[in-house]
Amino acid sequence: MFSLNCKGRLLCSEKPVVMGILNITPDSFYEGSRLQSTELIISKAAQMIQEGASILDVGGQSTRPGAESINAATEKERVIPAIEAIRKTFPDIPVSVDTYHASVASAAVHAGADMINDISAGLLDTAMIRTVAQLQVPFIAMHSRSTPKEMQQHTNYANIITDLLTFFSQRIQVMESEGIRDIIIDPGFGFAKTIEQNFELLQQLETFSIFKKPILAGLSRKSMIYKSLHSTPAQALNGTSVLHTIALMKGAHILRAHDVKEAMECIQLTELLKTKARS
């Protein structure tokens, strides 16, 4: 289905995979995901790998709506020791770093990370695209607008699908012209989008297969789930599984998830359904 060159090691998969979320932050929107010690990080990483995660995504700052940005130095202090510990303990698992700072991306890759996950697709730090091209690692390019603090003030679209298609077409052209070979696209559920726009995006997710790039869906426990159900992030696991299933049926290749076991079950069942449909 897709392959990624992770610093000389190929991540190849004939079916969708799960990216486990490791938040090295004190303020992520889902309290249950906050990890504040190396022991907790390694324990959670081990659990995610055992449950079937193919990639671990390490983030050092919250990018929830309204979140204040932190500087690159603080972010490095959080993520670099975590990445080094994960790489030492689990040498074979691909590790992604969730950052929009080019200097953090570079330091993380040198510490052992294999790919970069940027919520701004390289727009919040003009050095990012050139840095990723030099590092020759896969790049997850997400759609958003402005910064996390202000993004929900920027939800006006002429047509959200065509606007995002234009966005990715332009960003892919820039990335490929700079020499980035492995690009994953993430439509950015919850980033500069209303709840209604998030559901429209999910409804038409297969549209983005036009780019012939792996599609990442970041739906886990987000507000489009818990606000729609009048609940909380802690109560949003069942809703997450529902939307994960829909995303898989509409062409998602990677599920970025807090709950690896449940996301893997979504993949296993949808793959069985697809196999039955082909027989």
pLDDT digit string (tens) for the chain, length 279 residues: 799 999 888 898 999 999 999 998 775 555 555 566 888 899 999 999 999 999 999 999 877 776 678 899 999 999 999 999 999 999 999 999 999 999 999 999 999 999 999 999 999 999 999 999 999 999 999 999 867 777 788 799 999 999 999 999 999 999 999 999 999 999 999 999 999 999 999 999 999 999 999 999 999 999 999 999 999 999 999 999 999 999 999 999 999 999 999 999 999 999 999 887 776
Query: In DSSP terms, which residues pair with 9 in a beta bridge?
Result: 6
Q: Cα–chain-centroid distance for residue 66?
A: 19
* All domains in the chain, ordered by first residue: 14-278 (3.20.20.20)
Instruction: Report the C-alpha gap between 167 and 22 in whole angstroms.
Output: 28
Query: Which one is catalytic: 256, 261, 274, 278?
Result: 256
The answer to whether residues 30 and 258 touch, using CB atoms and an 8 Å cutoff, is: yes
Tell me if residue 256 is catalytic: yes
What three-state secondary structure class fits 202?
Answer: helix
State residue 186 phi and psi, 5-degree precision. Answer: -130, 115
For residues 232 and 243, the answer to whether their CB atoms sit within 8 Å is no
pTM: 0.94
Rounded to a whole number of angstroms, the CA Rg of the chain reads: 17
User: Would you call 34 a catalytic residue per the annotation?
Assistant: no
In whole angstroms, give the CA distance from residue 22 to residue 25: 9
Tokens of 263: 């996301």
β partners of residue 217: 255
C-alpha span between 273 and 193 (Å, rounded): 31
- Specify whether the CB–CB gap between 216 and 140 falls below 8 A: yes
Residue whose C-alpha is closest to residue 144's, from 171, 175, 115: 171
Q: Which residues contact 26 (CB under 8 A, 6 or more apart)?
A: 34, 36
Asked whether the beta carbons of 19 and 256 are under 8 A apart, the reply is yes
H helices present in 179-259, as ranges: 195-203, 223-226, 237-249
Q: Determine which one of 44, 64, 171, 222 is catalytic.
A: 222
In 3D space, the residue among 176, 119, 169 whose CA is nearest the CA of residue 146 turns out to be: 119
